[in-house]
Structure 1
Amino acid sequence: MNVLLAVPVVVPLLGAAAALLMRRAPRLQQGVAVAALAAVVAVTGLLLRATADGTVLAGQAGAWRAPLGITVVADPLSALMLAVSAVVLLVVQLFAIGQDIAGLSRAMPQVFHPIYLVLTAGVCLSFLAGDLFNLFVGFEMMLTASYALITQAPTRARVRASMIYTVVSLTSSILFLTGIALVYGLTGTVNLADVAVKLGSAPEELRMVLALLFLVVFGIKAALVPMHFWLPDSYPVAITRISAIFAALLTKVAVYAIIRTQTLLFGRDDITAVLLCIAVATMVVGIFGAMVQDDINRLMSFALVSHIGFMIFGLGLNSVAGLAGVIVYLVHHIVVQAGLFLVNGLIRQYVGHSSLRAMRGLNTVSPVLSVYFFLPAMSLAGLPPMSGFVAKAALFQAAVGAGGWPVYTALAAGVATSLLTVIAVFRVWVRGFWGTPMPDMVEARERLKRGSHLGGLRVMATMTGVMVAAGLAVAAAAGPLSELAFVAAHDLLNGSAYIEAVLGEGAR
């Protein structure tokens, strides 16, 4: 089983090389890209099954013993994130193929698929990396690919957004390298398990500084307030296939890195107050930003920022129940955000824009599209029995169990944010989907139906339906998912299983 740890990284890279060589044969290129991602989905499913009971799998490149070589590790959390991410990546890729078949995108498909597979390899390496440097490499693979993807079908707005995104990401990367250098200077290693052991004897002040530095590094990438300003200016202007995968995964990879480093390396109670303050600020600022937006994509981008705060809230509880709630929330949010941005992409095909000021009657134009929006939107708002309700209930229950006025303050902010999210999504629902449809919307629908791209549109709608159904499946599987989340949370707070799997028994 350890041999499979390299597959989620190696196969997409080989697929990217093959797809690039086949750029003059688009159908063959698409087949290779889909086959590579399908293989990743299958392997990550096997890894999730192997680690679901708390088993930690560790592999060493070149048979070098840790901490000298490149270490890849799969535990319940990383395996779950890999499996969910691989499914979302595959669905979005099929959506993109449908968009190319329909001829509704100005992106370059012959370039898109190789870059997309490099992005996939970066995401998988970030989840599997067992040392800080290869975590950095995973982020850079992911971000380098995203630089190229965000400028697909370039416009003035997209070029401006890519510049903001690039500058902010490079700043975070420089801070990340600085943090790695400081950790290496203090411990003589960058292997996560070895660092966790050696940091135990480091001075308290240095550990606190490093914990805050890595929180800033990954907080920029996760769009935590006040480091969030770049996201609402970047994600909404990208084409649908890009904004969907960015919203679903890139910030969640950063949240995963925050969870991994703050629990394994710096697990300490005196930073929980900082985490709770950041969580409250992120929830409140994000949702207030969403409330004043008239563009659906910008509204959803601010809502994305807001709901990252819920994950930091759960981490700040510093308990098994709180971390289990975060893990459930991560899975729910990845699926729901991907679904909502795909729906917004379909809305753009019917309407030509995503502005609520010039949109109404979508329910009459496309009843299926209204259902596709309603279900994930209600899940984002946290209404029962959707997956968002399950995730928020787990977090709120953990907060009540933790107690204390800082926790109750964050809990109140979470409840208020949930109520405001309901108002925000219902505003989209009422203004965009009800009323008499505008003439240009009806004409656009008829034009799409008569056009030669009807087959591609069906593929896009089918993949959007698959993502919406996946959100419902998360709610239906709440029981098994919660059990897995508790296993993962226990291992995160304990850390001994991870360390022993990498360094051997008795390492701690």
Structure 2
Amino acid sequence: MNLASTLIPLPVLVPTLGAAATLIAGRRPRLQRLITLAALSVVVAACAALLYLADRDGTLVLNVGGWGQSVPGMGPLGITLVVDRLSALMLVVSSIVLLAVVFYAIGQGVRDGDERQPVSIFMPTYLVLSAGVCTAFLAGDLFNLFVGFEVLLSASFVLLTIGASKDRVRAGISYVMVSMISSLIFLFGIALVYAATGTLNMAEIAVRLDDVSAGTRSAMFAVLLVAFGIKAAVFPLSAWLPDSYPTAPAPVTAVFAGLLTKVGVYAIIRAHSLLFPSGGLDPVLLVAALLTMVIGILGAIAQNDIKRLLSFTLVSHIGYMVFGIALSNELGMSGAIYYVAHHILVQTTLFLVVGLIERQAGASTLQRLGGLAAASPLLAFVFVVPALNLGGIPPFSGFIGKVALLEAGAQIGSVLAWTLVGGGVLTSLLTLYVVTRVWTKAFWRTREDAPQGHLSAASPAALIDEPEDIQFVDRDNVGRMPVGMVAPTGALIAVGLALTIFAGPIFAYCERAAAEVLDRSQYITAVVGER
């Protein structure tokens, strides 16, 4: 067994075993935390090694259980795990975010025995979520991609409803119902693909779909796009997201916003480039991308709560990724891949900053915030850097990703592509307006100038616009930001800035990943051999 074969299953295996160990250590919170941090640290190291090997050696494949590569007439049997440059990058960025967020959660001071924040459940569930994310990125067949999504669904429902407050349960039920509908549509799509091709291995499907009629291929692709579009929050399938994410604790909301929708985007990339590369539905995807960008950011403008505002910007910027995918050229795909990595880091960071704002000021609604820049220059800094990055101010990575996508649209030169270019520029300007509005209201003006600035965190009336279950260990000492919360937030800011500082080599990697994704023969040959 070579090094790659040893490393490939680790991103799934280590968190799964860690989840079991943390369940056993349920009455020992310090041991739970140590196990969780150790498991996710191993995952980061393994994913970094896989990224290096995939870039050096090309697509890596592991047939779990020692099954033969392929059976004539049936395709590969068993579970196939595949690591190419795209999945390796997603694994690295996701594992870094997962590790940083769990550091933040520990720093937030959630303690075992607190009836509203049961850590004995949080840690194992968080590790299961990590395993689900990695399973989706490694899956070489549609069924195990479905399994990865379902693991995510199960774990995310538990995390979303931790504390069992009324708001969280309501949001959790809505989230689960939408996710179940998406899963049923995905299962229907899997059934259609299997009926047409006789296999669920994605490389084998890609080969056999060449013999399927164009109309049947388009119908199957449309079904899968609906399923993945719900998970990725592509308009008009995105209405569930702004009501689901803001109710959760800050670490949960951060990891949801940063990662879960990107798993859906990753699935769209695989379906679009590997299974259905003809581009027959590209105009539909371009229209969906435009509507996602514009309607999402208009929704953000209307919000007064920072969590809901960021949830709408999350929806909006999914449109940029879909834009790059639908262009079907190498620059567009490179920009989409780079932008996915950028957005995972920046969006996660901003939701962590909201948690710091809640601790510092006792609120996340703009009607009650003010004077934060004077009260905490450090908090102002950790907000303004990712906020400007999200807004696409040069030379940040958000600007680099957007320029690549806009240039790719200009290369296509169609009326629809130029419309998307205009929509992308407008969305970027409105995003900058939204984050500037948060800055001026929450950080720049005085608290006394806020409409509800006279309310204190200790006042019962102060909870009118707040989720009823915001509760920290030091809640009676609003204004204190633990180092354990600030340090991982700063670490993610640093990683986000690394995308700018090392933009040349990182974007070159994304170009290689895009070329590999668009030239599906490399993936197919690695999995099923020469045909």
Show the counterpart of 1:31.
34
Instruction: Point out where structure 2 has 5 or more consecutive residues left out of the alignment.
Output: 71-75, 449-453, 460-472
Show the counterpart of 2:128.
118
| 2:78 alignment partner, SS class | coil
Residues 1:152 and 2:177 aligned together: no
Residues 1:63 and 2:88 aligned together: no
1:436/1:181 Cα in 2 relative to 1: closer, same or farther (>3 Å)?
same
Once the two structures are superposed, residues 269-315 of structure 1 have per-residue CA deviations (whole angstroms, 9 ceiling, x without a partner) of 22111110000010011000001100000000000000000000001
C-alpha contact 1:377 1:425 (8 A) present in aligned 2? yes
TM-score where L is the length of structure 1: 0.96
Alignment of 1:142-181 (within 5 A): 142-181=152-191
- Equivalent AA in structure 2 for residue 79 of structure 1: A
1:377/1:102 Cα in 2 relative to 1: closer, same or farther (>3 Å)?
farther
C-alpha contact 1:320 1:490 (8 A) present in aligned 2? yes
Show the counterpart of 1:227.
237
Structure 2 Cα separation of the partners of residues 178 and 269 of structure 1: 22
Show the counterpart of 2:416.
406
Show the counterpart of 2:469.
none
Residues 1:277 and 2:287 aligned together: yes
Structure 2 Cα separation of the partners of residues 62 and 450 of structure 1: 54
1:449/1:465 Cα in 2 relative to 1: closer, same or farther (>3 Å)?
farther
1:92/1:51 Cα in 2 relative to 1: closer, same or farther (>3 Å)?
same
Q: Among all aligned residue pairs of Structure 1 and Structure 2, give the percentage whose two residues are the same amino acid.
A: 48
1:403/1:470 Cα in 2 relative to 1: closer, same or farther (>3 Å)?
same
Structure 2 Cα separation of the partners of residues 52 and 338 of structure 1: 26
TM-score where L is the length of structure 2: 0.92
Once the two structures are superposed, residues 209-243 of structure 1 have per-residue CA deviations (whole angstroms, 9 ceiling, x without a partner) of 01111110000001111110100000111110100
> How far apart are residue 422 of structure 1 and its match?
0.8
Could you tell me which of 474, 480, 485 is aligned with 2:505? 480
Show the counterpart of 1:317.
327
1:412/1:452 Cα in 2 relative to 1: closer, same or farther (>3 Å)?
closer
Residues 1:381 and 2:391 aligned together: yes
Which sits farther off after the overlay, 334-343 or 100-109? 100-109
Residues 1:460 and 2:485 aligned together: yes
Show the counterpart of 1:420.
430
- Equivalent AA in structure 1 for residue 501 of structure 2: A
- Equivalent AA in structure 1 for residue 140 of structure 2: G
- Equivalent AA in structure 2 for residue 228 of structure 1: S
C-alpha contact 1:95 1:460 (8 A) present in aligned 2? yes
1:485/1:459 Cα in 2 relative to 1: closer, same or farther (>3 Å)?
same
Structure 1 Cα separation of the partners of residues 348 and 478 of structure 2: 27
Residues 1:141 and 2:141 aligned together: no
1:294/1:105 Cα in 2 relative to 1: closer, same or farther (>3 Å)?
farther
- Equivalent AA in structure 2 for residue 86 of structure 1: S
C-alpha contact 2:338 2:507 (8 A) present in aligned 1? yes
Structure 2 Cα separation of the partners of residues 174 and 213 of structure 1: 10
Residues 1:5 and 2:5 aligned together: no
Alignment of 1:331-342 (within 5 A): 331-342=341-352
Structure 1 Cα separation of the partners of residues 111 and 524 of structure 2: 50
| 2:81 alignment partner, SS class | strand
Show the counterpart of 1:370.
380
Could you tell me which of 392, 398, 406 is aligned with 2:402? 392
Structure 2 Cα separation of the partners of residues 453 and 425 of structure 1: 22
Show the counterpart of 1:264.
274
Show the counterpart of 1:96.
105
Could you tell me which of 54, 66, 69 is aligned with 1:51? 54
C-alpha contact 1:351 1:440 (8 A) present in aligned 2? no
Structure 2 Cα separation of the partners of residues 172 and 449 of structure 1: 38
Structure 2 Cα separation of the partners of residues 105 and 387 of structure 1: 41
- Equivalent AA in structure 2 for residue 77 of structure 1: L
Aligned pairs, number: 503
Structure 1 Cα separation of the partners of residues 434 and 373 of structure 2: 18
C-alpha contact 1:52 1:76 (8 A) present in aligned 2? yes
| 1:71 alignment partner, SS class | strand
- Equivalent AA in structure 2 for residue 78 of structure 1: S
> How far apart are residue 353 of structure 1 and its match?
1.8
Structure 1 Cα separation of the partners of residues 377 and 97 of structure 2: 24
C-alpha contact 1:51 1:76 (8 A) present in aligned 2? yes
Structure 2 Cα separation of the partners of residues 172 and 363 of structure 1: 42
> How far apart are residue 101 of structure 1 and its match?
5.9
| 2:77 alignment partner, SS class | coil
C-alpha contact 2:360 2:479 (8 A) present in aligned 1? no
Could you tell me which of 269, 276, 290 is aligned with 2:300? 290
1:54/1:261 Cα in 2 relative to 1: closer, same or farther (>3 Å)?
farther
C-alpha contact 1:379 1:388 (8 A) present in aligned 2? yes
Show the counterpart of 1:203.
213
> How far apart are residue 440 of structure 1 and its match?
5.8
| 1:392 alignment partner, SS class | helix
Could you tell me which of 239, 244, 248 is aligned with 1:238? 248
Alignment of 1:177-196 (within 5 A): 177-196=187-206
Alignment of 1:429-508 (within 5 A): 429-438=439-448, 457-504=482-529, 506-507=530-531
> How far apart are residue 435 of structure 1 and its match?
2.1
C-alpha contact 1:365 1:437 (8 A) present in aligned 2? no
1:196/1:375 Cα in 2 relative to 1: closer, same or farther (>3 Å)?
same
> How far apart are residue 449 of structure 1 and its match?
11
Structure 2 Cα separation of the partners of residues 53 and 290 of structure 1: 42
> How far apart are residue 108 of structure 1 and its match?
1.0
> How far apart are residue 3 of structure 1 and its match?
2.2
| 2:62 alignment partner, SS class | strand
C-alpha contact 1:363 1:369 (8 A) present in aligned 2? yes
Structure 1 Cα separation of the partners of residues 50 and 412 of structure 2: 33
Structure 2 Cα separation of the partners of residues 34 and 413 of structure 1: 42
C-alpha contact 1:158 1:237 (8 A) present in aligned 2? yes
> How far apart are residue 106 of structure 1 and its match?
3.6
> How far apart are residue 192 of structure 1 and its match?
0.4
RMSD of aligned C-alpha atoms? 1.9
C-alpha contact 1:99 1:105 (8 A) present in aligned 2? no
Show the counterpart of 1:354.
364
Show the counterpart of 2:463.
none
Higher helix share: 1
Structure 2 Cα separation of the partners of residues 450 and 185 of structure 1: 60
| 1:68 alignment partner, SS class | coil
- Equivalent AA in structure 1 for residue 24 of structure 2: L
C-alpha contact 1:363 1:370 (8 A) present in aligned 2? yes
Structure 1 Cα separation of the partners of residues 210 and 517 of structure 2: 16
